[in-house]
Amino acid sequence: MIAGAACLMFWLSLLTEVQGTIFDVKKFGAKADGKSDDCKAFASAWKAACSCMTPSTLVIPKGEYMVAQLMFQGPCRAPVTYQLQGTLKAPTVMNKMNSQDGWLAFLDIDGLTVLGGGTFDGQGSAAWASNNCAKTGKCNSLPANLRITKVTNSKIQDITSLNSKLFHMNILGCKNLTLQHITITAPENSLNTDGIHIGRSSGINITDANIQTGDDCVSLGDGSQQVNVEKVTCGPGHGISIGSLGKYRNEQPVVGVTVRNCTLTNTMNGVRVKTWPASPSGVASNMHFEDIIMNNVSNPILIDQEYCPYGQCQTKVPSRIRISDVSFKNIRGTSATELAVKLVCSRGLPCQKVGICDVNLTYNGNGAATSECANVKPTISGKQFPPVCTRTT
């Protein structure tokens, strides 16, 4: 009898322990009415989950949750799963938000999993009109939907980022992070709403993402190393970009980037590497683009070392970013502009070890597609249409 009671107590304690690792924000006071600020409930639920000695799950059930600026900070005692089933909505008024911290931030966490099929809604439409990049050249005064900083050995999957005020996902200082089955949506006129921006991070894998936004679908800043981008559909947007590089001093090298099996539709650019003129010294190497489909894409293949979007730079001074070991392979489809391939490298540091293999791009308008090359002598192989770099300067 005593043994049986002890056994029952053991199983009850085990069940309690398992249930104790699940933290539902509603049980911490979240109202999920789409109006009340549920920040306190989320912060309390996160604190409990992060403090748990065993793997835990923070659950956000279906519903609409109004949440002001919030940081989910570690380090945590054990891996945490952030299960978003509902929709989180950001405030439309910006005066209470610190743009540098983002709207929602995950900081200093090892073993984080974000999933659940839910949505991060930045409600950015009112903010886009105040983003006066064209006149000021500054576009960093608004918060990103998700700021992911110093997150390691983690995964983000099956979630949606909607109408961010600035970048949808800003990944900085992360290692071994996978983003899978991500949906990112914002209209074409939403300024500077990069889908996924990566900086100073290594071992980043993006796969099976559907990105429609007003800027780069994927952008890689300085210090991006060993990054794999695969099975991304992009458009509208500005394409998949490495850079811009060379705007600031002490930028870290970009090394080891692969972009493959992606489809771009009605985008401003295709796959590109862009650096500022008059830049400090820097390095971008071992970058490979392959098996890419272009559907009515302007500038499908682009290296631009004279990048100056707002006309506020010294264009006569060459870029000092050294680009080397770049390949474009099996890139096919249609160009919205006559100039389908443009490789304009720095006259101070011409590009080295550039390879182009099997390009088939046709112009959607009247006439044939063309190419332009400067300060580069690529290795050409396979079929080429248009003929690439037949004339170089």
Active site residues: 215, 238
Residue 329's DSSP bridge partners are 290, 357
Query: In terms of Cα–Cα distance, which of 114, 97, 82, 89 is closest to 38?
Result: 89
d(CA 298, CA 363): 10
DSSP strand pairing (218-220 vs 240-245) = parallel
Burial class (CB in 10 A: 0-12, 13-18, 19+), 291: middle
- Say if CB 82 and CB 113 are below 8 A apart: yes
Contact predicate 283/252, CB 8 Å: no
User: Quick one: CA dihedral 87, 171, 235, 307, positive or negative?
Assistant: positive
At residue 63, the 3 state secondary structure works out as coil
Helix-strand-coil split of the chain, %, nearest 5: 10, 50, 40
Let me know: does 201 contact 232? Beta carbons within 8 Å. no
Query: What is the rounded CA–CA span in Å between residue 277 and residue 348?
Result: 10
Beta-carbon contacts of residue 90 (< 8 Å; ≥ 6 apart): 67, 68, 103, 120, 121, 122, 123, 124, 143, 145, 165
8 A C-beta contact, residue 388 and residue 358:
no
* 70-73 vs 104-110, strand pairing mode: parallel
**H or E segment and range at residue 133:** helix 133-136
Which secondary-structure segment (H or E) carries 37?
strand 33-37
How buried is residue 101: exposed, middle or buried, by Cβ count under 10 Å (0-12/13-18/19+)? middle
